[in-house]
Amino acid sequence: MTATTTTGPGVVVVVPVYGDLDSLRECLGALLRHLDLTRHRILLVNDCGPDADEIENALLGMIDGVSGVTYARNDENLGFVGTCNRAVNELDTSDRDVLLLNSDTVPTPGFVDEMLEVLYAQDDIGVVTARSNNATIASFPFRLSAGGDRTFERTTEVFEALSGRLPRWYSPPVAMGFCFLTRRTLIRRFGLFDDAFAPGYGEENDYCLRIGRQGYVSTMANRALVFHSGSKSFVGARRNTLRTSHQRELERRYPFYGEAVQSFLRHDVAPADRFSDVLVPRAGSRPRISLDLRDAPAEVVATAVPSFLAAFPGSSWTREVVVDADVVDSAVVDSAVVDDAVPADDTSVATTTNDDDIVTATILVDGFTTPRALVRAHRRSSVLVSLAPDPRPSASAPWTDAAFRARARDVATTLDRHSAVSIDGDWASAALSLTDALAEPVGARVDALDARWADLHLADVTLDAAGPESGAEVERLRTEIADLRASRTFRTGEKIARLAPRLPGRRK
């Protein structure tokens, strides 16, 4: 597609207002500081929520004498969908493109200009959203390695270090509604939000997928940053009920939606983005390192585990040993971890891993790592380490050997090419080398990740095509369980279960 000029009439920033005056003040203050009001406009719409009169007085005081800002008030509460539709169809009918901005956001300098540049970079771009600390798939960093919150400060730290190394934009299936820029021409052709999603939740996804059927793509501007406090309009059971019912409607209208989002997250996010939380370590955090011994014989496990624990002390590393299920309770693994005399949360033993549970480094055993295991470690780890096993496998492994049949021998060249460090007997020196590798400039580490991704991308996609992957499925199920536990129905069921044994006539 060809690029289109951005020398138009600018944007109107629509801010629906519903309660939370403190956040609103911060949002409007940032807009007034960072927005060029000689070109752009601000439209504040009071949706008659809590303390509507107090909010009105505060807003009018803040914008008194400021040109380029308009205030309006609904006669009654219309909800987010109704307020946005009224704003663009009735209150502002100019030729300006529309940026819908939640009142609990804090824009940063240049965000509108960058989003506009992306919107008009190609004729088929219909929607742009920004990156944020709290915006589902637009959150930055998205995957977290060692817990912790995405505070404004943490997101700023990662954004400043890595945003310049990311593509200027992504094209996910949908854009996020907290900061949502779209062309005025598309609103006129297709309308804005469907009332079926009133009062809110899912309306922006429906809009993106609806115009997507007409050939327009949604984008995520990786160099525009807008902080977001999070939803405060709907809380508790009402929030879960709305989200669940509207999600079902989205899936009914667009059966491919869930698969599309998972495909984007798996294959379209840049490596620097995927591993951002470990590329820019949190202050005081320890790097996470995993020793993957699945498919390795017992004698390799027996020598590797104690060597690993000695070379990577728990005071400096958060450690994980991954073994086959029939090995996890073996004396060698259990005694090595217990005898190391470190807090239990410094070393874990597992039989499975989640691809999206990001770690700093993974040690793979050369000669026993299968192609599938290599790809899954590639998905999970910012750095790969190759371990020459002791004892070494036979040079001419027969077909009777499981690793031989699983094509582990074919992994060696690729693993060697993309390993930051190789361990060949001297674990202590390897640990020092890995520490040095992790201290290299972030640009060099990103370049290495990009090279690995280019080499393994097709294998990565092929692995997904062979069947559902546990990482995405586990995260989906965790989300569903969390929503269920937060629902009123679940809480009522728990109360009934506690009271039922006390009912008269109930058998003890």
- How is 217-272 classified by DSSP, letter by letter? EEEEEEEEEEEE----SS-HHHHHHHHHHHHHHHHHH-TTHHHHHHHHHHHTS-HH
Which residues is 348 bridged to in the sheet?
320
- Look at the chain and count its residues: 508
Question: How high is the pLDDT of residue 343?
Answer: 43
Q: What proportion of the chain, given as a percentage, has pLDDT over 90?
A: 70
93-141, pLDDT tens digit by residue? 999 999 999 999 999 999 999 999 999 999 999 999 999 999 999 999 9
Residues 451 and 307 in one domain: yes
Strands 359-365 and 11-17: what pairing?
unpaired
Q: In what order do the strands lie in the sheet with 381-387?
A: 347-350, 318-322, 288-292, 359-365, 381-387, 419-423
Whether 251 is covered by a domain: the verdict is: no
Domain interval for residue 490? 472-502
Q: How far is residue 356's CA from residue 379's CA, in Å, rounded to a whole number?
A: 7
Whether 346 is covered by a domain: the verdict is: yes
Q: How far is residue 221's CA from residue 219's CA, in Å, rounded to a whole number?
A: 6
Whether 256 is covered by a domain: the verdict is: no
Residues 24 and 120 in one domain: yes
Whether 48 is covered by a domain: the verdict is: yes
Residues 416 and 433 in one domain: yes
414-445, pLDDT tens digit by residue? 999 999 999 999 999 999 999 999 999 999 99
Residues 91 and 149 in one domain: yes
The CATH code of the domain that includes 426 is 3.40.50.2000
Residues 122 and 170 in one domain: yes
Residues 412 and 482 in one domain: no
Number of domains in the chain: 3
Residues 330 and 443 in one domain: yes
CB atoms within 10 A of CB 24: 23
Does the structure show a pLDDT above 60 at 75?
yes
Residues 455 and 490 in one domain: no
- What tokens does 320 get? 């994980």
Query: For the residues 214-226, what does the mean pLDDT come to?
Result: 98
The CATH code of the domain that includes 15 is 3.90.550.10
Residues 433 and 481 in one domain: no
Residues 194 and 334 in one domain: no
Strands 105-107 and 217-228: what pairing?
antiparallel
- What tokens does 210 get? 């609806």
Query: Residue 83: which H helix or E strand, with range?
Result: helix 79-86
Residues 116 and 172 in one domain: yes
Residues 384 and 493 in one domain: no
Whether 293 is covered by a domain: the verdict is: yes
